[in-house]
Every structure is written in structure tokens, then in C-alpha cells.
Amino acid sequence: DVKVTQSSRYLVKRTGEKVFLECVQDMDHENMFWYRQDPGLGLRLIYFSYDVKMKEKGDIPEGYSVSREKKERFSLILESASTNQTSMYLCASRTNGDQPQHFGDGTRLSIL
Amino acid sequence: AQKVTQAQTEISVVEKEDVTLDCVYETRDTTYYLFWYKQPPSGELVFLIRRNSFDEQNEISGRYSWNFQKSTSSFNFTITASQVVDSAVYFCALSEEYNTDKLIFGTGTRLQVFP
């Protein structure tokens, strides 16, 4: 089974802090994704990556950056956290070809 | 523009009832893919099905079935004889041929199955 692991289930940070959300997958997938999930808005894509050191902007990249130094790890960075970034963050990965994305359990982030 | 609409925000049923979750999509592409994911209270999205636009056959998997109709741009999901464990948020999603990594999600339907 594919396993996508997000480092924290719940996280509380303060406005202005630099926040790191970590995601690791154990299936050697080429592609990794970060989404945020908000009530009434569904999931929205923040960033994704096709390969190590590669990144592409999704629909809502503002205020975020990402890092992919190793194939199995994809980090989401909030450079200076703001209260409107309080949300559920979901990481996903998939291999190339006709395969679906597999998701982690999510990190519920609160910015105070 | 691509869009996925799940008009039902929340549905409540009693165990053993059948329930249908609606999904309507918009796309200009002739080749695209449709998905359903389940999000139980634990939080992770669980992949249920992927269907490409050229395959309009209905699919059945146990108590789950999917009805894809291009004429109405719908991809509806039916659970037969619902169970309490089916309680979750269900998301319908769309991706297009030349951008298969970009999933466009609907806003989700929360299904509550009561004993």
C-alpha cells in the first residue's frame, strides 16, 4: 500500500512565524502535491513537483513556497504565517502514467 | 473554464437506505478524467474510482456504483444499502488530458449514515 506521511496532525503557530509542513512518501513516486482544504471551497492546489528540485505553482501559491531536495520528501513552507493560512493541509503523491493521487492524513494548522 | 459542482452539501440517511451523490462537471476538453475520493473523519482522502471520458460504462464495485453520463456532464455515485462506516465527506474531481496532475475538486458532500 502507498503510504504518504505528514509530520504533524495538528499544529499551532503564531502570526509571522516561518512554518514548515513535511510530507514523505514511501513508494518512489515522481510527483508530489500540496493542497489546502477549506469549508465550502473543497481542495485547492498550492504547489506540485514533478521531480527533485522541480516545482510548479498551483492555483493558490501566494504566501507559500516548497522544497523538494529528495524524491521522497516534499516540504511546504509558510514564509511568514498569517491567520488566513489557518486551514487543513493535505499532501499527495503519485507515480507517472495513469495512476491516481494518494493522500496523507492531513495537517490541521492554526495560526494565532 | 473547468469546474466541478457538488450541489448537495450534506445528506443524512438511515442505515440500509440507498443514497446518490451528485457530481456535475464543466470542461472544454474532449479528453478528461473524473474521480471520486472519500474522506473519513480520520482526514485522509481515499481514492475510490477514476474514469476517462471515453469510457461511459457504468461501474459497480460491491455496494458502490457510478453513473457517468456525458450528455448531462454528470458522474454520480450511488451507495446501496448504506452503512455507518460510509459516513464521510465525498469529493468528486476532474483532470484534463494535458494537465492530468491538476485535480479540480468539487466542494464535497458530507454523508451521515445513522444506525
How do strand B3-5 and strand B24-26 relate by DSSP bridges?
Answer: antiparallel
- First-to-last C-alpha distance (Å) of chain A: 36
Question: Cell digits for A95?
Answer: 507515480
Task: Compute the nearest-CA separation of A71 from chain B (Å).
Answer: 17
| pLDDT for res B49 | 92
Interface of B with A in 22-41 (CB under 8 A): 35, 37
Mean pLDDT over B35-60 rounds to 90
Percentage of chain A beyond pLDDT 70 is: 98
Query: Is residue B64 predicted with pLDDT exceeding 80?
Result: yes
pLDDT at position A26 is: 92
- Report residue B42's pLDDT band, with 50, 70 and 90 as the boundaries: confident
pLDDT value of residue A1: 67
* Percent of chain A residues topping a pLDDT of 90: 83
CA distance A96 to A98: 7
Mean pLDDT (chain A) is 93
Residue A110: pLDDT over 80: yes
Nearest-Cα residue of chain A relative to residue B4? A42
| HEC readout, chain A | CCCEEECCCEEEECCCCCEEEEEEECCCCCEEEEEEEECCCEEEEEEEECCCCCCEECCCCCCEEEEEEECCEEEEEECCCCHHHCEEEEEEEECCCCCCCEECCCEEEEEC
Q: What is the pLDDT of residues A26-66, one digit of tens each?
A: 999 999 999 999 988 899 999 999 999 899 999 999 999 99
Mean of per-residue pLDDT scores for chain B: 92
Q: Give the pLDDT confidence score for residue B48 in this predicted structure.
A: 95
Task: List, for residues B68-107, the tens digit of each pLDDT value.
Answer: 999 999 999 999 999 999 999 999 999 887 667 788 999 9
Taking any CB pair shorter than 8 Å as contact, residues of chain A touching chain B are 4, 9, 31, 33, 40-45, 48, 50, 58, 88, 90, 92, 94, 98, 100-106, 108
* Residue ranges of E strands in B2-115: 3-5, 10-14, 19-21, 24-26, 32-39, 46-52, 59-61, 64-69, 74-79, 88-96, 99-105, 109-114
Nearest to B44 by CA among A54, A25, A77, A20: A25
In this prediction, residues A61-88 reach a mean pLDDT of: 96
Task: Work out the average pLDDT over A81-96.
Answer: 94
- The pLDDT, as a whole number, for residue B29 is 87
pLDDT at A2: 66
Contact residues for A1 (Cβ-Cβ < 8 A; gap 6+): none
Contact A104 B47 (CB under 8 A): no
Whole-number pLDDT of residue B15: 97
